[in-house]
Structure 1
Amino acid sequence: MENAKRLNPVQKTVVGVQFLFVAFGATVLVPLLVGLDPSTALFTAGLGTLIFHLITKGKVPLFLGSSFAFIAPIIKATELYGLAGTMCGLIAVGGVYGLMSFLVKWRGLQLINRLFPPAVIGPVIILIGLSLAGSGVNMAKSNWTIALISLAAAVLVSMLGKGLLKLIPIFIGIITGYIASACFGIIDYQPIKEAAWLALPQFVRPEFSWGAIVFMVPVAIAPVIEHIGGVYAINGVTGKDFVKDPGLHRTLLGDGVACSVAGLLGGPPVTTYAEVTGAISLTKITDPAVIRIAAVAGILFSVVGKVSAVLKSIPESVLGGIMMLLFGTIASVGISTLVNAKTDMGNTRNLIIVSLTLTFGIGGAIFQVGEFSMTGIGLAAIIGVLLNLILPYHEKESNL
C-alpha cells in the first residue's frame, strides 16, 4: 500500500480504523479480566495515545493500549485496597515513567541497563505471566468446550494466519468463542437489548491509598523496559531513530502521563502495542497521523453503549481459554528475555537473582511493617533490583 502521506483523508480514516481493529481485542480484554469497564479502557487508550503524540511532538507512530503487565496486580490490589484505591496506585505508576524519563535524559540508557538487566527483568515478566495461570484455568473450567474452542482458534490464527489476521489472534479467539457460546445458547442478550446506543464510559473516582501506591509502583519496572523495546521496534520498522528525536525521555514521559490519566479516569494503564507496530510494518504506512485517527476512533467507539454491553456479555469460559494462552505467552517472553540476552545461568550471581525473584513472587512472600505491606510481583521486582545492585560481580559480568 502506498505511503500514508499520499493517502486522502478517507483512506487514512479507513487505515486508522484498521489499526484500531488490530489493537481492539487486547485493549478490551484487560478490563474484562480485572473488572473494569471495557469502554473506559477504549476511551483511555485513545486519549492516552493522543497525549503520547502530543508530548512526543507527533513524531512517533505508536499506539498505546491496555497493559497486560498490570492484570494480576490490579486484581490483587482491588482485593486489598478497593477499586478506587487501586486507581490511586495506577496514577502513581506514571511517576515511575517520569523518573525513568529524567534518568534517561540525565545519564542515558546506561543507568537503566545497570538497574534493570535481563536477570532482573526476565523473572519479573515470568511472574507477570504465571501469577494468573490458576485464574485462567478456573475461568476455563466453567465450560471447557467453549474454552478450548476459543483457545484453539487463537492458536491456529497465531500459527497459520497471514498478514493482518496473524496480528489479531486474541480478537479472533474471542469472536470464535462468542459464536460457539451463542450456538450453545449460553449468552444473555437482554443487557445488550436494554443498553443505550450512546452512553459514557463508567469512570472511577480514585481515592488516595499509600498501600496501593507502594503495591503498584514496583510493577512498573517491567512495562518501562517493554516501552523501551517498543520504541526500538518502531525504529526498525520506520527506519528513523526516535530514541534521539524526539528522544526516549519524551516517549517515556508520554507513556507515563497516559498511564496516570488512565488511572485518574478508571482505566487500566497503557503501553506501546507491538500488534500495531506489526501492522505498520505490513502496510508500510508510518504516518503518525493515522495512529491518531485510530485513537480518535477508539474514543468514539467507547461511547457506543451497545459495544460495551456486547463485550460484557462474553462468557468467562471464552476469556479463560484466551487467558491460558495469553499468560503462558507472557511467561515465555520472560524466558526469551533471559535466553536472547545470553544470561549465564551457570553464573552464581545470576542464578541467585533469578531464583530469589521467582521464589518471592510465586511463594507469596509479604514484607510488612505496621500498616505498610508489599507482596507479589512488586516485592519480587524490588528484590531483584536490590540483589542486582548489592551482589558483587566481576568486571567481565558487567554486561549482564
Structure 2
Amino acid sequence: MQKNIIQVDEKPQFWESVPLSLQHLFAMFGSTVLVPVLFGIDPGIVLLMNGIGTLIYIFITKGKIPAYLGSSFAFISPVFVVLDRYSGVEEGYSYALGGFLAVGVVLIIIGLIINVVGTNWLDIIFPPAAMGAIVAVIGLELIPVAAEMSGLIKPADAANNWTMDPKVVMVSLLTLAITIVCWVTLRGFLKIIPILIGIVSGYIIAYFAGLVDFTSVKEASFFALPTFYHIKFNLADILAILPAALVLLPEHIGHTMVTGNIVGKDLTKDPGLDRSFLGNGISTIISSLLGSTPNTTYGENIGVLAITKVYSTWVIGGAAIIAMFLSFFGKIAAIISAIPTAVMGGISLLLFGMIAVSGLRTLVDARVNYDKSHNLILTCVVLVVGLSGATIHIGTVPLKGMGLATIVAIGLSLFFKLLDALKLSNEDQ
C-alpha cells in the first residue's frame, strides 16, 4: 500500500475527519445549490436530501464506493420546459418531481438488469482505449467551465464588450497557487487538506479584494426548516424529463470506473455496478418524494479523492451529515454560498484537471497499443466527440460531451468486436 493513502474502509480520527469532510462539502456545494436556485426552489431541501441520498448510497454499496451524490445538471433543460407549462413555479416543480421519480425507477431497473447479466460486458464495450479517453473527457470538458469561473475566458452569456477582471483572475490564480504549494510542500495531516486551505485562503484574499458579498448572509435566517414540495404526476411531464436518464447512465458508469481507477479497485465488480445504480436510483426516488432534485455522483468530489488520496467513505459520509446540518441553518449555508466564484474556479481548475489526468493514467497503466488501429480510432473518436461540442437532442434533453462520447464509444467497440468475430478486420492480432 502506498504511503499517505487513507483507504476506503479506513476511519480517520474525528479531528481529522471534520476538515476532510469540509473539503468535499466545499467542492460540491456551489453546483448542488445552483440547481435549486435556477429552479426557484428552496436549496435547503436539496442539501438535506443530497446528504440523506449520499448516506443511502454508501449503505447500499456497503461502504465501498467513496462517492458524493449532488444535484444533476442533466435535468435543467427539461425541468425548464415543464416549469413553462404552469403559471406557478411550485406547481410546475411538483409535476417535475413526478419525472424525477420515474428516472429513479429507471436507474433501479438498470441496476437489477446488471445484477442478472453481470458486468463482463463492460470489458467488451469499454476497452482501455475507450475508457481512458472517456475519463479524460469527463475532466477536459469541465475545464472551460472552471476557466470561465476563474475569469480567464469570456462567459457564454457575457456581453460583447466583456473584459477580463484582473481582481477575479488574481483571486483565482492565487487560490490555485496556494493549493498547489500546500499540496507539494506540506507534510503530515496538512498535506491532505490542501483544498480546504486553498479555499479558506482564497476566501480571505477575495474579501480584501472586494469580491465577497455578505448580503445573503445578513438576510438568511439562522434556523429554518427546509421546504418540502408535494409530488404530482402528468404523463407529458414525465416523458419530457425521462430522457435525462440517458445522460445519467454513461455518466454514472464513467464516474464509477474513474473512482475505481483512483482508489485502485474494480468497483464495478465489488460492490458492483448494480449496487451503485440501485443506490443512486433509491436515493433519487426518496428525494423526489420529499421534493428534492435527482442525485448523481459528482466529478468535483472525484477530483478531491485524486488530489488528497483520502478515499474513506467515512469522510464522504461526514460531508453528507454536514450538508444535512446546514440545510437547517441558513446563515452557515449562506456563508459557504458566499464563497466567490473566482475562488471555486481556481480550485476547479485543479480538480477537473486531475480527473483528466486519471484518464490518461488509465491509458498508460493499461499499456494501450496505439499501433493497433482499433485503439487509435477509439481514443481519437471519443476525444473528438467529447470535446467538439457536438450535441444530439433527445426531446428537450441535450446529449453531449462525455455522455455522447460514451455512446459513440460503445457503438464503435461493438462494431470492432463484430468485425473481429466475422474475421473481416485487418487488425493485427
Tell me the TM-score normalized by structure 1.
0.74
Counterpart mapping for 1:261-272 below 5 A: 261-262=286-287, 265-266=292-293, 268-270=295-297
* Distance change >3 Å, CA 372–CA 100, structure 1 → 2: same
Is structure 2 residue 207 aligned with structure 1 residue 182? yes
Is structure 2 residue 116 aligned with structure 1 residue 115? no
Equivalent in the alignment of 2:197: 172
* Distance change >3 Å, CA 305–CA 147, structure 1 → 2: same
Cα deviations by residue, 1:215-240 (Å, 9 ceiling, x for unpaired): 4523432432433565797797xxxx
Is structure 2 residue 79 aligned with structure 1 residue 50? no
* Distance change >3 Å, CA 262–CA 190, structure 1 → 2: same
Q: Secondary structure at the match of 1:375?
A: strand
Q: Take 1:218 and 1:166, find their aligned partners in 2: how far apart are those partners?
A: 36
Aligned residues: 378
Q: Take 2:103 and 2:201, find their aligned partners in 1: how far apart are those partners?
A: 35
Q: Take 2:384 and 2:318, find their aligned partners in 1: how far apart are those partners?
A: 44
2:296 corresponds to which letter in structure 1? P
Q: Take 2:346 and 2:308, find their aligned partners in 1: how far apart are those partners?
A: 28
Q: Percent identity among equivalent residues?
A: 27
Q: Take 1:270 and 1:256, find their aligned partners in 2: how far apart are those partners?
A: 12
* Distance change >3 Å, CA 102–CA 210, structure 1 → 2: same
Cα deviations by residue, 1:326-378 (Å, 9 ceiling, x for unpaired): 22222222222222222223321122222222222322223358x57753122
Name whichever of 227-236 and 148-157 sits farther off: 227-236
Q: Which has the higher helix share?
A: 1
Cα distance, 1:394 vs. partner?
A: 4.2
* Distance change >3 Å, CA 209–CA 302, structure 1 → 2: same
* Distance change >3 Å, CA 64–CA 39, structure 1 → 2: farther
Counterpart mapping for 1:292-371 below 5 A: 295-367=320-392, 371=395
Cα distance, 1:266 vs. partner?
A: 2.6
CA contact (8 A) 1:62 1:276 kept: no
CA contact (8 A) 2:261 2:358 kept: no
Is structure 2 residue 152 aligned with structure 1 residue 136? no
Q: Of the candidates 42, 47, 63, which is equivalent to residue 60 of structure 1?
A: 63
Equivalent in the alignment of 1:149: 174
Q: Secondary structure at the match of 2:392?
A: strand
CA contact (8 A) 1:61 1:234 kept: no
Cα distance, 1:253 vs. partner?
A: 1.4
Tell me the TM-score normalized by structure 2.
0.70
Q: Secondary structure at the match of 2:68?
A: strand
Cα distance, 1:187 vs. partner?
A: 1.5
Is structure 2 residue 255 aligned with structure 1 residue 226? yes
Equivalent in the alignment of 1:160: 185
Equivalent in the alignment of 1:4: none
Q: Take 1:281 and 1:329, find their aligned partners in 2: how far apart are those partners?
A: 12
Equivalent in the alignment of 2:156: none
The answer for unaligned runs of 5 or more in structure 2 is 1-10, 84-88, 152-164
CA contact (8 A) 1:218 1:382 kept: no
* Distance change >3 Å, CA 229–CA 332, structure 1 → 2: closer
Equivalent in the alignment of 1:26: 27
Name whichever of 40-49 and 146-155 sits farther off: 40-49
CA contact (8 A) 1:227 1:271 kept: no
Q: Take 1:310 and 1:347, find their aligned partners in 2: how far apart are those partners?
A: 53
